[in-house]
Amino acid sequence: MPTRKKFVAGNWKMNTTLAEAKALGAAVAKGVGTDTNVTVAVCPPFPWLVPVGEAIKGSAVALGAQDVHYEKKGAFTGEVSPAMLIEAGCKYAIVGHSERRHILGESETAINHKVHTALEEGLSVILCMGETLAERERNLQERVFQRQVFAACAGLTDEQFQRLVIAYEPVWAIGTGKVATPDQAQEAHAFVRTKLRQLYGDKIADTTPILYGGSVTPETTAGLMSKPDVDGALVGGASLKADSFVAIVKAAGG
């Protein structure tokens, strides 16, 4: 089985001032350095992409956006296209985060369209999925994963899958301080990988990184990363403190 490189991405959400963003980016870049055995990305708010890109330049840290629009250009007030993100220095875009699904009402169709457009335009995609507490309590999580994987990835080519990262984020663990146990995370990741294998074959299943997200901390990282199907972390609150985020990167790298 191929060895998947660990991947840690920081989602800053709607936080930081310009000064804070530049300082955070610079501190993460310094902490990670130019050589790491972990793929690392930070995803600041849209207005701070260019200055944070400057702050991390020369390091091993890549720039990502927290969202992207599903059309390439046009009359879409307030939206940001993949080409704009690439020109701003982005390599990655997060798509389908639970806050966009559940707070802003993004549909499975819109998420699939975003995935396609971002990949077609040259971005790599961090695709989020996960169940709510109500869905887990009713033991529906596997049905949710199956629906979300099938809907978001429908129509992708093998080449496009090489630029897709999946992030499993149990909605009940995001920003709550609750963390799925390593065994719960492994169970979810293994199921998602099984679905990828059934739908798209061994190569895609074995090479697609699946990250865990949901109140990740330096203390919980090693246990999560010890599981065979947990390939990294999408970090929320802890990514707003450079020392915490760098500690997670180092823990992921073993």
CB atoms within 10 A of CB 106: 19
Question: From the candidates 99, 106, 131, 169, which is the catalytic residue?
Answer: 169
Question: What residues form the annotated binding site for substrate?
Answer: 11-13, 175, 215, 236-237
Task: Say how far apart CA 194 and CA 218 lie, in whole Å.
Answer: 28
Token readout for 243 is 């020392």
Sign of the CA dihedral 227, 177, 249, 51? positive
Task: Say how far apart CA 99 and CA 159 lie, in whole Å.
Answer: 28
Question: From the candidates 97, 99, 116, 189, which is the catalytic residue?
Answer: 97
Task: Say how far apart CA 180 and CA 177 lie, in whole Å.
Answer: 10
Q: Is 169 a catalytic residue?
A: yes
The answer to whether residues 166 and 158 touch, using CB atoms and an 8 Å cutoff, is: no
- Residues with Cβ within 8 Å of 198's Cβ and at least 6 positions away in sequence, in order, are none
Q: Is 69 a catalytic residue?
A: no
Taking the mean position of all CA atoms in its chain, how far away is CA 160?
16
Question: What residues form the annotated binding site?
Answer: 11-13, 175, 215, 236-237
CA nearest neighbour of 211 among 198, 220, 224:
224
Task: Say how far apart CA 129 and CA 119 lie, in whole Å.
Answer: 18
Burial of 170 (0-12, 13-18, 19+ CB in 10 A): buried
The answer to whether residues 241 and 25 touch, using CB atoms and an 8 Å cutoff, is: no
Which residues carry out catalysis?
Answer: 97, 169
